[in-house]
Structure 1
């Protein structure tokens, strides 16, 4: 009995043996047919959920205090900050974004190990936007057969009107998508007003044009070609699945040999597949799942809905096409019980990695300091010998105040006796301590000079500590550097 079908179903055009004619065949446009069913319902529901989340999150407000953006999710490129609800990420903390990308990647691998390309079928942005564009196309031009006839029909007023209406709506959707992307990099109400008033320009306008054009082209024209030739995921998904992964599967042990039903509805000595090709008509990538697992299958399950529709008409058991694993398919063919192993070494490894990365991120976020200091010592000259014989060194002292309130600090020096400090802007004052103020969520940069008698130096390099004390909380941050002098 047959257990595995051919690995490929998409016909690959052969080069012209005589050397004449095109090397590649033209693309055959896919016109998916809509069938009611559980997977169609889930795709539609998730489509609106994802679109709502994408377009609405940028308008959620989050109070961070005075002088700080109150947009819940904002990647503030001019201000070099990323705000994600209560989390504020500075440029030197970009590793948090790296951690989020690792979480997303491992989550994708885990989902693939459990249910194949379920991400591609339901949540990928290309899938979501293509589904929305197809809804517009179906609403204006009709279902599959009407669209095919319209494509073949000569130009007429009706055809031109429908095509113009469809493309106008597509362009409006694309523009709105581009605008929504800009919301996450600018204050959403402000940039919306700029667009509506015609004041938008520069890189924001270029970005809007590029994103809108790409959405229009990819969702309106390229569609499944993006999955075939541009997305790398389909190429390496095979290494993330195994014999226990749930994939969209044609149960050929039950469906073969297939044949047209004719007048004889007796299925006792033949397969349940009636060769109606509804599964092919429903597929958004135009493949025949009955030919076995294929890279082009995005795991949307719409062929399952189509096949179940036909099974109901013939009063046959549903799920001739189903989300099934190779292990379970073999077990069912042999009459054994259901064999579904969601918890297995591969999924356990992914769960452990996800838990570990998430724990490291949360621990790091919970323990991270809200104050950082950088000291850059002048290298030219290394030191200056003043007229009174004292030695002077210059430093650029930077304080990163990552709190949402103004901070007052006291700076002192340890490790060097009889040292005095001056600061650009306060040159007239020589004192052992300096008062520094840094605004909320700001970087304070101070040019500081240290002056000490030559006799207290420990050779040509003396280790010293800059001690920064928060006047309100009493917290102390120490940073070590050197004071240079002559041999």
Structure 2
């Protein structure tokens, strides 16, 4: 081993030697002598972001309050759908396989509406990213909203940035333990409220609330609340920016969607560099840029990055660094916008001395218009389908074994299972009639053959599907053929539907 080390040139590790047979480098080629192997995971460095006030911070407050209010209040809103349907405005009724959202009711066979909404949500994220970068991550993402809320809890118990940093480094003692327990208790309360609100979307909120606290709720309700409470507690309280940087796939998807025309938070280095303090810049006018290297942009960042190092995955485009920098620029008598929303292309134009382009003009570009057109088209298509859909549906399935029965009088009988769907919040009378099949008659299990006719009437309960066992008989000499079950809703809004089926006879296939 000593001979190998002496044979290596100075500064080169013996680990970089090649296998003469294969010509491939050994696995230790990147590890120099005496240097520890690189770690696969970097330990988290706590981020103590500083309180800041400004337009972006106030907008962030508004979005956070709005998102939390929507999440916690929505299950308690009521919506009158009549006496036969639940009155919860937004309800995912898994037991009855329904999705209610105010005046809209989605049945299982209409899942394409839900799929359309999910597609719109995905394209909406593409649209927002194309227009204003990672604004979703910076303002409305659940991880961002709850992390922001927990950071305000930190400030309430531990103070602002410097106080939190000192407390973090301080040894454990009664005062620190008391603060931590109080803060973590609030964490748990918020996390419990988060998990508790989620289950109210799947059952009547007042009823489930009573059952939950009296121990009468289903075990899955308690399990769901526990799981969501712990994930919110851990992710929002202790992992925070690590979720954005390491766990969430969306930042990596967004990097493929951003280009030089995307509006993102940008540090204008040609204006800020070289950096110098105010006093040093006053002593040497014209030699330094506007950045005074105060690190306020770093201090307020919720993920702890330095935006002056350029675009990076840790930047969630919240704009707090803009608020901090604009305040410093105002205090030092410099123009705002050293850190600002800008495209890389427009930044180059501004660097060349041209005036910056208006943000509205930067947003409406071909890619954004394409996303908006696709997003809007899907939305309009869903609205059209929702407005033109009927609330009556009929399906028919023919018995295959036996395909037919020859009765004692020579007539031929086929059996069918009909499913009549009433999608309105009131009982409705439905008429089922035969169209085609000359000489054919129809009856059901609760109507004898002596009452067979060309049509029967059924009352279908509100918001229900009724199964009808139907029998169709035709004369002995009837050839195989297709015919139709026609469904007609009686009374107002007389909607109709039909189902085409086959009538089999001993003569063979039609």
Among candidates 136, 141, 148, match of residue 124 of structure 1: 141
**3-state SS in 2 of match to 1:351:** helix
Contact 1:250/1:289 (8 A) holds in 2: yes
Among candidates 345, 356, 367, match of residue 338 of structure 1: 356
1:113 to 2:130 alignment: yes
Instruction: State the shift of 1:396 in Å.
Output: 0.6
Shift in CA distance, 196/265, structure 1 to aligned 2, threshold 3 Å: farther
Query: How do 1:77-476 and structure 2 match up within 5 A?
Result: 77-262=94-279, 264-266=281-283, 267-340=285-358, 341-427=362-448, 429-432=450-453, 433-455=455-477, 457-458=478-479, 461-473=480-492, 474-476=494-496
**3-state SS in 2 of match to 1:151:** helix
Contact 2:281/2:287 (8 A) holds in 1: no
1:478 to 2:498 alignment: yes
**Distance in 2 between residues matched to 1:465 and 1:264, nearest whole Å:** 89
Q: Mind listing any 5+ residue stretches in structure 1 that lack a counterpart? A: 1-13
Instruction: State the shift of 1:259 in Å.
Output: 2.5
Contact 2:442/2:456 (8 A) holds in 1: yes
Shift in CA distance, 305/15, structure 1 to aligned 2, threshold 3 Å: farther
**3-state SS in 2 of match to 1:295:** coil
**Distance in 2 between residues matched to 1:477 and 1:223, nearest whole Å:** 54
**Distance in 1 between residues matched to 2:279 and 2:216, nearest whole Å:** 67
1:102-160 CA-to-partner distances (Å, cap 9, x unmatched) read 22122211111111001110111110001111111110011111111111111111101
Shift in CA distance, 472/429, structure 1 to aligned 2, threshold 3 Å: farther
**Counterpart residue number, 2:24:** none
Instruction: State the shift of 1:22 in Å.
Output: 6.2
Query: Which structure carries more relative contact order (alpha carbon 8 Å, separation 6+)?
Result: 1
Segment drifting more, 469-478 vs 95-104 = 469-478
**Distance in 1 between residues matched to 2:96 and 2:503, nearest whole Å:** 34
Shift in CA distance, 89/475, structure 1 to aligned 2, threshold 3 Å: closer
Aligned residues: 471
**Counterpart residue number, 1:8:** none
Instruction: State the shift of 1:263 in Å.
Output: 5.2
Point out the structure with max Rg over C-alpha: 2
Instruction: State the shift of 1:16 in Å.
Output: 6.1
Contact 1:113/1:241 (8 A) holds in 2: yes
Instruction: State the shift of 1:37 in Å.
Output: 1.6
**Counterpart residue number, 1:5:** none
1:19-45 CA-to-partner distances (Å, cap 9, x unmatched) read 646624322111111122221111112
Instruction: State the shift of 1:99 in Å.
Output: 1.1
Instruction: State the shift of 1:429 in Å.
Output: 4.4
Q: Mind listing any 5+ residue stretches in structure 2 that lack a counterpart? A: 1-28
Contact 2:428/2:462 (8 A) holds in 1: yes
TM-score computed with the length of structure 2 as normaliser:
0.89
**Distance in 2 between residues matched to 1:328 and 1:318, nearest whole Å:** 17
TM-score computed with the length of structure 1 as normaliser:
0.93
**Distance in 1 between residues matched to 2:504 and 2:74, nearest whole Å:** 53
Instruction: State the shift of 1:482 in Å.
Output: 0.7
